[in-house]
Amino acid sequence: MLQVPVETFLGHIAGHLPSGKVLQVMKILHGSDLYLACACAQGETRALQAFEQHVLRRVPARLGRLSPNIVEESVQWVRKRLLVGSAHAPPRIAGYGGRGPLLTWVAIIAARIAGDLAGMHGRQRPVAEQRVGSPWTG
Protein backbone atom coordinates (compact mmCIF):
# COMPACT_ATOMS: atom_id res chain seq x y z
CA MET A 1 0.00 0.00 0.00
CA LEU A 2 1.25 3.47 -0.86
CA GLN A 3 1.80 5.88 2.00
CA VAL A 4 1.77 9.57 1.15
CA PRO A 5 1.18 11.88 4.11
CA VAL A 6 -2.39 13.23 4.11
CA GLU A 7 -1.15 16.82 4.19
CA THR A 8 1.01 16.22 1.13
CA PHE A 9 -1.87 14.68 -0.82
CA LEU A 10 -4.35 17.40 0.18
CA GLY A 11 -1.83 20.05 -0.86
CA HIS A 12 -1.39 18.22 -4.15
CA ILE A 13 -5.15 18.14 -4.76
CA ALA A 14 -5.53 21.80 -3.79
CA GLY A 15 -2.91 22.74 -6.35
CA HIS A 16 -5.08 21.24 -9.10
CA LEU A 17 -8.46 22.73 -8.15
CA PRO A 18 -9.47 25.83 -10.10
CA SER A 19 -11.01 28.56 -7.98
CA GLY A 20 -14.77 28.74 -8.30
CA LYS A 21 -15.12 25.24 -9.75
CA VAL A 22 -14.02 23.07 -6.86
CA LEU A 23 -17.29 21.12 -6.56
CA GLN A 24 -17.52 20.41 -10.29
CA VAL A 25 -13.92 19.20 -10.43
CA MET A 26 -14.26 17.09 -7.27
CA LYS A 27 -17.18 15.21 -8.88
CA ILE A 28 -15.06 14.10 -11.84
CA LEU A 29 -11.71 13.74 -10.11
CA HIS A 30 -9.86 10.45 -10.60
CA GLY A 31 -8.74 10.25 -6.99
CA SER A 32 -6.76 7.01 -7.07
CA ASP A 33 -4.87 8.11 -10.19
CA LEU A 34 -4.18 11.49 -8.61
CA TYR A 35 -2.92 9.76 -5.48
CA LEU A 36 -0.61 7.55 -7.55
CA ALA A 37 0.72 10.58 -9.44
CA CYS A 38 1.29 12.44 -6.18
CA ALA A 39 3.17 9.47 -4.72
CA CYS A 40 5.27 9.15 -7.89
CA ALA A 41 6.11 12.86 -7.73
CA GLN A 42 7.31 12.24 -4.15
CA GLY A 43 9.56 9.42 -5.41
CA GLU A 44 7.68 6.71 -3.47
CA THR A 45 9.22 3.41 -4.61
CA ARG A 46 6.00 1.40 -4.55
CA ALA A 47 4.19 4.13 -6.45
CA LEU A 48 6.86 4.10 -9.15
CA GLN A 49 6.52 0.32 -9.39
CA ALA A 50 2.71 0.58 -9.61
CA PHE A 51 3.02 3.30 -12.27
CA GLU A 52 5.31 1.04 -14.27
CA GLN A 53 3.05 -1.99 -13.93
CA HIS A 54 -0.39 -0.42 -14.29
CA VAL A 55 0.26 2.55 -16.56
CA LEU A 56 3.50 2.43 -18.54
CA ARG A 57 3.13 -1.25 -19.36
CA ARG A 58 -0.18 -0.48 -21.10
CA VAL A 59 1.09 2.49 -23.15
CA PRO A 60 2.62 0.54 -26.09
CA ALA A 61 -0.77 -0.91 -27.00
CA ARG A 62 -2.10 2.64 -27.33
CA LEU A 63 0.61 3.80 -29.72
CA GLY A 64 -0.71 1.98 -32.75
CA ARG A 65 1.44 0.54 -35.49
CA LEU A 66 4.80 2.06 -34.83
CA SER A 67 8.10 0.26 -34.99
CA PRO A 68 9.03 -1.51 -31.75
CA ASN A 69 12.11 0.72 -31.49
CA ILE A 70 10.05 3.92 -31.60
CA VAL A 71 7.57 2.51 -29.08
CA GLU A 72 10.37 1.51 -26.69
CA GLU A 73 12.14 4.85 -27.09
CA SER A 74 8.86 6.71 -26.53
CA VAL A 75 8.20 4.88 -23.27
CA GLN A 76 11.75 5.64 -22.12
CA TRP A 77 11.19 9.35 -22.85
CA VAL A 78 7.88 9.25 -20.97
CA ARG A 79 9.67 7.84 -17.93
CA LYS A 80 12.30 10.55 -18.09
CA ARG A 81 9.89 13.42 -18.73
CA LEU A 82 7.33 12.44 -16.12
CA LEU A 83 9.30 10.84 -13.33
CA VAL A 84 12.60 12.74 -13.20
CA GLY A 85 12.61 16.15 -11.61
CA SER A 86 15.39 18.68 -11.34
CA ALA A 87 16.82 20.88 -8.64
CA HIS A 88 14.37 23.58 -9.72
CA ALA A 89 11.24 21.60 -10.59
CA PRO A 90 9.40 18.52 -9.39
CA PRO A 91 8.79 15.58 -11.73
CA ARG A 92 6.23 16.52 -14.40
CA ILE A 93 3.84 13.85 -13.19
CA ALA A 94 3.03 16.34 -10.43
CA GLY A 95 1.23 18.31 -13.15
CA TYR A 96 -1.39 15.60 -13.67
CA GLY A 97 -4.66 17.13 -12.46
CA GLY A 98 -6.85 14.04 -12.17
CA ARG A 99 -9.57 15.27 -14.53
CA GLY A 100 -9.19 12.19 -16.73
CA PRO A 101 -7.63 8.75 -16.34
CA LEU A 102 -3.88 8.78 -15.69
CA LEU A 103 -3.37 6.15 -18.40
CA THR A 104 -5.05 8.39 -20.98
CA TRP A 105 -2.95 11.39 -19.92
CA VAL A 106 0.28 9.38 -20.14
CA ALA A 107 -0.75 7.78 -23.46
CA ILE A 108 -1.34 11.22 -24.99
CA ILE A 109 2.12 12.34 -23.89
CA ALA A 110 3.61 9.12 -25.26
CA ALA A 111 1.79 9.55 -28.58
CA ARG A 112 3.18 13.07 -28.97
CA ILE A 113 6.68 11.84 -28.20
CA ALA A 114 6.25 8.89 -30.60
CA GLY A 115 5.07 11.25 -33.33
CA ASP A 116 8.11 13.46 -32.84
CA LEU A 117 10.42 10.44 -32.88
CA ALA A 118 8.78 8.93 -35.95
CA GLY A 119 9.11 12.27 -37.73
CA MET A 120 12.77 12.55 -36.80
CA HIS A 121 13.48 8.98 -37.92
CA GLY A 122 11.58 9.56 -41.16
CA ARG A 123 13.70 12.60 -42.05
CA GLN A 124 16.98 10.76 -41.65
CA ARG A 125 18.44 9.18 -44.76
CA PRO A 126 19.82 5.67 -44.46
CA VAL A 127 23.61 5.53 -44.17
CA ALA A 128 23.85 3.75 -47.56
CA GLU A 129 22.30 6.81 -49.26
CA GLN A 130 24.66 9.33 -47.74
CA ARG A 131 27.43 10.72 -49.93
CA VAL A 132 30.40 12.87 -49.15
CA GLY A 133 29.41 16.49 -49.65
CA SER A 134 25.68 15.85 -49.34
CA PRO A 135 23.65 18.06 -46.99
CA TRP A 136 23.07 14.98 -44.82
CA THR A 137 26.73 14.51 -43.95
CA GLY A 138 27.51 18.11 -43.14
Q: What are phi and psi of 21, to 5 degrees?
A: -130, 25
**How far apart are alpha carbons 136 and 128 in whole angstroms?**
12
Mean pLDDT per 10-residue segment, the chain (138 residues): 72 70 69 91 94 96 90 95 91 92 96 89 46 39
Question: How many C-beta neighbours within 10 Å does residue 113 have?
Answer: 20
User: In the prediction, which pLDDT does 1 show?
Assistant: 65
Separation CA 53–CA 56 (nearest Å): 6
- Displacement of CA 47 from its chain's centroid (Å): 14
Q: What is the pLDDT of residue 8?
A: 79
